[in-house]
């Protein structure tokens, strides 16, 4: 039989840590939130009613600190409590997770199959994104209607996260948050403790990794979900960049850092500066939720403003998915106009054309390696332009 699951709520951080340690020493399985299989909820003076109600609805036993301490010291609980736990155990039938057959294909939100090679990477990308989104929407301790809608829709369109066994408890907490529209202190602590545990277990916290970029992109989506950025969110963004300094020289962290330096230069954050930062964030992520209601991974909108696009003997690289045809089709069209196309971004590449649709297998939420390389070359002074499919089509 598996160990009894226990959760502590309504205690300060120090007291909660001591109780959790004591519970582990007597063989209990400590949970950070009210899970579906929770046996005991130990409540303190500041216990939130929603968590207590959820525990009771699920049949969990609710005890106070003195009862837990007595149990930890003696192994004894009141007879009525023991009978309740026994009844609870008998009523629960373990549900075996559905086993995916070797030939089963995991489908994305568009009912398109994930490539086996990129399936794990796409789930990793989504988890890093969710971490950032949560940092963004909780930056000012408020869950505004637009942020609530963004988070709700994001979860419903990213089934790969909700179905991941390591994310079950996190999704449970988020569902509680979405139900009442409030992130209380316990839920806030639970969320980040749980998601940090996932990151640690899976090794997602490696400094300088692509997960940091995806977490940043999620953070940018979170703080801009309500179509405005306030001073608390700017401070959160600045702190995050300082803590993740290993990626400050990488795009788009470099662009955002430059913007913040301009904002902080005179010590005053003006409304115009907030609006300018919001526009930059929306261009980087390609996400304008309040306008489009879209929470999918969109292609970046950091395009160059150009008046002409020559093709004859000019290097082109195409990336993403194109509304006007397959990659092979658009490359053939460019070649017919005299362009020299390449699969990657070279020093001779002058135009990188981004398809209207983001590729689900890009390493980053809003872009892939080709765009990152192009932006890096641009920052080093190379003559290279990043343009959209629509821009390119106007000149052919």
DSSP letter at 245 equals G
Whether residues 81 and 130 share a domain: the answer is no
pLDDT of residue 2: 55
Which position has the token pair 């398809």?
355
Is residue 216 in a domain? yes
Q: Which two tokens stand for residue 125?
A: 């990308």
Whether residues 153 and 33 share a domain: the answer is no
pLDDT above 80: residue 372: yes
Mean pLDDT of 34-60: 86
Number of domains the chain is built from: 3
pLDDT of residue 160: 82
Is residue 100 in a domain? no
> Distance (Å, rounded) from C-alpha 206 to C-alpha 216?
14
Q: What percent of the chain has pLDDT over 70?
A: 92
Whether residues 153 and 246 share a domain: the answer is yes
Q: Which tens digits make up the pLDDT trace of 172-221? A: 889 888 888 888 888 888 899 889 888 888 888 777 679 999 999 999 99
Q: Which tens digits make up the pLDDT trace of 3-14? A: 688 999 988 888
Contact 151, 182 (CB under 8 A): no
Question: Which one is predicted more confidently, 360 or 125?
Answer: 125
Q: Which tens digits make up the pLDDT trace of 284-299? A: 999 999 999 999 889 9
> Distance (Å, rounded) from C-alpha 31 to C-alpha 20?
9
Q: Which two tokens stand for residue 140?
A: 């000012």
Whether residues 229 and 145 share a domain: the answer is yes
Is residue 81 in a domain? yes
End-of-domain residue from the set 91, 109, 137: 91
The structure's pTM equals 0.75
Q: Which two tokens stand for residue 93?
A: 């039938």
- The CB density around residue 215, as the number of other CB atoms within 10 Å, is 28
Question: Which one is predicted more confidently, 309 or 2?
Answer: 309
End-of-domain residue from the set 36, 71, 91: 91
Is residue 300 in a domain? no
End-of-domain residue from the set 55, 75, 91: 91
Domain of residue 28, residue span: 5-91
Question: Which one is predicted more confidently, 151 or 51?
Answer: 151
> Distance (Å, rounded) from C-alpha 73 to C-alpha 168?
32
Q: Which tens digits make up the pLDDT trace of 122-134? A: 889 999 999 999 9
Q: Which tens digits make up the pLDDT trace of 219-264? A: 999 999 999 999 999 999 999 999 999 999 999 999 999 999 999 9
pLDDT of residue 97: 47
**Neighbouring residues of 231: CB distance < 8 A, sequence distance ≥ 6:** 269
Whether residues 61 and 208 share a domain: the answer is no
Alpha helices in the chain (DSSP H): 13-25, 49-57, 65-74, 79-91, 116-137, 145-157, 159-162, 168-180, 185-202, 210-224, 231-243, 253-264, 271-285, 289-292, 327-336, 369-379, 389-393
Whether residues 201 and 347 share a domain: the answer is no
Whether residues 270 and 350 share a domain: the answer is no
Whether residues 132 and 257 share a domain: the answer is yes
Helix (H, G, I), strand (E, B) or coil at 9: strand
pLDDT of residue 26: 80
Is residue 171 in a domain? yes
> The CATH number of the domain where 51 resides is what?
3.40.50.10190
């Amino acid at each position: 039989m598996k160990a009894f699951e226990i959760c502590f709520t309504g205690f300060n951080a120090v007291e909660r840590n001591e109780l959790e340690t004591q519970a582990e020493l007597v063989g209990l399985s400590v949970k950070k939130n009210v899970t579906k299989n929770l046996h005991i909820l130990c409540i303190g003076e500041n216990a939130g009613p929603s968590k207590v109600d959820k525990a009771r609805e699920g049949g969990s036993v609710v005890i106070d600190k003195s009862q837990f301490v007595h149990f930890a010291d003696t192994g004894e609980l009141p007879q009525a409590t023991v009978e309740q736990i026994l009844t609870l155990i008998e009523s629960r039938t373990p549900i075996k997770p559905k086993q995916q057959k070797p030939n089963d294909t995991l489908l994305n939100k568009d009912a398109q199959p994930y490539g086996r090679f990129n399936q794990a990477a796409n789930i990793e990308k989504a988890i890093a994104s969710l971490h950032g989104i949560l940092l963004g929407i909780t930056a000012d301790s408020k869950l505004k209607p637009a942020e609530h809608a963004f988070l709700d829709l994001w979860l419903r369109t990213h089934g790969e996260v909700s179905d991941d066994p390591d994310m079950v408890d996190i999704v449970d907490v988020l569902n509680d948050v979405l139900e009442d529209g409030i992130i209380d202190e316990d839920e806030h602590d639970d969320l980040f403790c749980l998601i940090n545990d996932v990151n640690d277990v899976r090794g997602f916290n490696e400094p300088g990794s692509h997960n940091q970029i995806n977490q940043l992109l999620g953070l940018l989506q979170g703080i801009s979900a309500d179509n405005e950025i306030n001073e608390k969110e700017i401070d959160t963004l600045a702190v995050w960049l300082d803590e993740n300094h290993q990626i400050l020289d990488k795009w788009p962290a470099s662009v955002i850092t430059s913007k913040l330096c301009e904002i902080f230069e005179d010590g005053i954050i003006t409304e115009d500066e907030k609006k300018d930062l919001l526009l930059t964030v929306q261009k980087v992520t390609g996400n304008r939720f309040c306008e489009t209601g879209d929470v999918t991974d969109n292609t970046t909108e950091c395009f160059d403003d150009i008046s002409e696009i020559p093709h004859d003997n000019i290097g082109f690289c195409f990336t993403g998915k194109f509304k006007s045809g397959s990659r092979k089709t658009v490359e053939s069209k460019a070649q017919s106009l005299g362009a020299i196309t390449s699969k990657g971004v070279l020093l001779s590449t002058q135009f990188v054309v981004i398809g209207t649709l983001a590729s689900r297998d890009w390493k980053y939420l809003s872009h892939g390696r080709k765009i990152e390389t192009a932006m890096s070359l641009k920052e080093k002074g190379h003559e290279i332009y990043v343009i959209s499919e629509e821009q390119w089509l106007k000149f052919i």
